[in-house]
Amino acid sequence: MDDSNGERNVSRRALLRASAGTVALSGIGSAHATGGTGDATGASQFDDDCPEATLEPSMTDCEGATMEGCADDHPATTALRSAVTDALETRYPDVDALLDAGYKPYFDTLEMGDDSWSHWLNPTFIGDDELLDPTRPESVLVDNQSWRSLGVMFIATNEGEPVEPPAVYGADDDEQRCSPWHAHTGLPGRFAWWFYRQTYEQASTDGLLEFPCRTPCMLHVWRVDHPESVYAYDAPPDDYRDLPPADDPEFDTDAVPGEDDLDWNALPEAVVPDRLPGDRSPTAPLGLEFGR
């Protein structure tokens, strides 16, 4: 990878060591958004084209979304959570399984230590037309201490394009309808999705994707108890994560689950992107230049 002057190569590991702890544009959420090919630095960020955009993390309810009818003990909720838990325990229990299933890491939370968690996104599942399928979650949410899966994040897309999400239960005119979908409008969440798309969907091209005004709708389902809701936006507090450390991973790493936080440094070289969220060009507004 060339440095800013194009004069020398810098290894990804060296870059990680140099930039550890300096990721300024990490986000608290990731989701899928549309955007054509173009110059990301020229896309609207905080103008009339993106009236909801904020610099700080923020989100908005999707059209028709509601938590009014949502209850953790509702049969539809318990069935969905049970199916999610089964899928996470049998298919996607830890980092090894996620890598084998094609998930891509994104360490997009600003929390560190006890509150640290990360999103892992699957391009195949994001690109299909399945919605609310516990066996094919678009994103798996991972506890960075234990290296185990905490829950899933469904992303409302059809063949990769945003769509109106379905309710978990209840009809449109039903006061007991549960449809807890939300979209991110803050810079961190929008950047997180832009980074994912640019890295894993546009990796074979030289163009830059447009920076989105908002993400598509997304929905969390937590397998562990949560003091707010099964569908809560934020991760459960550390006290609610009663998960034993994952087994030592099969890939080569000096990090140990339960002892070392899961981060870019803990992963094998092959799955670490050439450019990370903290790799920002000084010539680009807000660090959105992503030259290849």
Q: What is the pLDDT of residue 39?
A: 37
Own/partner long-range contacts of 251-257 (Cβ < 8 Å, ≥24 apart): 251/96, 251/99, 257/94, 257/95, 257/145, 257/146, 257/147, 257/148
CB 40 within 8 A of CB 198: yes
* 117 closest CA partner among 147, 139, 142, 153: 142
Helix then strand then coil, in percent of the chain rounded to 5, is 25, 15, 60
Q: What is the pLDDT of residue 222?
A: 98
Q: What is the pLDDT of residue 202?
A: 72
Regions of the chain where pLDDT drops below 50:
1-44, 110-114, 280-292
If DSSP codes are grouped into helix, strand and coil, which group holds residue 100? helix
* 138 closest CA partner among 223, 219, 66: 219
* 55 closest CA partner among 186, 184, 185: 186
Phi and psi angles of residue 151, each rounded to the nearest 5 degrees, phi first: 180, -170
Task: Round to whole Å and give the CA distance between 44 and 156.
Answer: 23
Q: What is the pLDDT of residue 78?
A: 98
pLDDT, tens digit, 9 for 90 and up, residues 235-280: 899 899 989 999 999 999 999 999 999 999 999 999 999 888 877 4
Q: What is the pLDDT of residue 47?
A: 57
CB 126 within 8 A of CB 160: yes
Q: What is the pLDDT of residue 36?
A: 33
Q: What is the pLDDT of residue 261?
A: 93
